[in-house]
Structure 1
Amino acid sequence: MSAPTRGPRSPVPQLVVTDLDGTFLSPDGTVSAENRAAVLAAQSVGLPVLFATGRPVRWLDVIRDLPGSHPTVIASNGAVLYDLGTDQILDRLCLDPTVTVAAVAAIRAAVPAARFAFESGTRFGYAPGYRTLRVDDGSDPAVFSGPVEELAGRADCVKMLVQDQTRTADELRAAVLAVVGDRLTVTHSVSSGSGLVEVSGPGVSKASMLERCCRRLGVDQALVAAFGDMPNDEEMLTWAGMPHVVANAHPQLLDGPYRVVLGNDASGVGRTIAGWVAEVQRDAARPAQLAPPSR
């Protein structure tokens, strides 16, 4: 079992936002019974649970039928805001094609083994040499291949993926960041296998889209509870007033000023949410304090 919760207990939040892979989802990529029950219980006491993930819209089926979750999902590391209830993209922040094409050339010069892919949220295009997560057998119309310059120049891209099978993700992120600087946002969400980094527009992150959501919902930043496990969650954790990381998180996050909860193998997010739900229920059941009689 993962390490126990570390840090002082937080007050009850107004909104919970959590990453999916490595955080809310179990190691096998499913939603545990404990996490499922916690989300439904949170809804019953008026505590919305919203998801913020690096996954594209195409990969949200794992939470599509999750009862009690907020229908709005922050996808593609904050570049896309999606409504699961209506299957509609509410907001999309695309890369500037001119900047992307120039970045590809600069990255190829500095990282010769780099291979590229591009995500629109609903479609995925990859250049020759890029190793896809699933074998492309041509049966998925949302997946296609083409020359890197052509793919980089598309106007609907929200995220560029850079892969280098000779480096770790941390090493590749440092190399790509040294090339693109602040012209683009560079992060990563995997800690095993070959190096893979995710590149979005300048200033685009889970935090930037979460801030827009909270303004729309009228939620106080100080009472936003966030959960994450990887560097692509760091901006969100820094922005939220109540940041949490799971015990299996990247060392960079475990060393940060965040409350540490049980890992995703022990439903740490769900257990924490269940604690808040219990507090709300206890407060509701507590009899009102009577004023002392006047003399």
Structure 2
Amino acid sequence: MDLGFAGAKAVVTGGSKGMGLAIAETLGAEGASVAIMARGQQALESAAESVRSAGAPEVLTLSVDMADAESIAAGYAAVSDAWGQLNVLVHTIGPSAGLFEELDDDDWHAAFDLGTMSAVRSVRAALPMLRAAEWARIVTLSAHSIQRQSARLVAYTATKAALSSLTKNLSKSLGPEGILVNCVCPGTIVTASFTEILKDTLAADGLDSSDPHDVMKWVEQTYGHPCDIGRAGLPEEIASATAYLASRRNGYVTGATVNVDGGSDFI
């Protein structure tokens, strides 16, 4: 299926690793030029090489701190200088975890700055370019924890719930302009950072943090959150769903919150 990305210009925030990188690679493979925004220059350069190898005709690397409004504005100004218009914005950024009693006001402000306001600022900066393009799409990445609560993710989940609400509202306001806006809610996804962070924790239970079936077994035992197909997901599975929603081929899906979680008891 031709998704219609030939000649398209796309920004992927958080595109240097994990799900963001998988999305950038997929968009590049489909023929889009991709601007990757992330903080670490070394990770950006490595990601750029991967996205070029996937087939992207052009890759921009932009060192942007998504918790800093001026840095975000500067990143999109650089995209505007390079391209002038934009077809796709995919926003993948989220804050870190923490229990309620561990978080003070500054932690909450920081969580919302990164988890919600980064999207607000990204969309605000990208809108003139999206409006200048022949067609345009916005996709945000929320989380299935907005439906399946976990005590350790209290601030993370609050910001992602706000992001999902923001996305729905934007679909209403931008729909008449032909800009389609959707939200993807990943379930448990086995990324390289996930595997490394939880390696010892899962190993203590005789499980492999790189094995999607072992990971889901641990999630079910620890949090009581199973999924219907019995395994965790992979970054490329999030990328596939995101790419369709971000594509020109998608002409009628907007305002959707799409679970990509291996099947759950939520709709």
Tell me the TM-score normalized by structure 1.
0.35
Highest relative contact order (Cα 8 Å, sep 6+), 1 or 2? 1
Which has the greater radius of gyration? Answer: 1
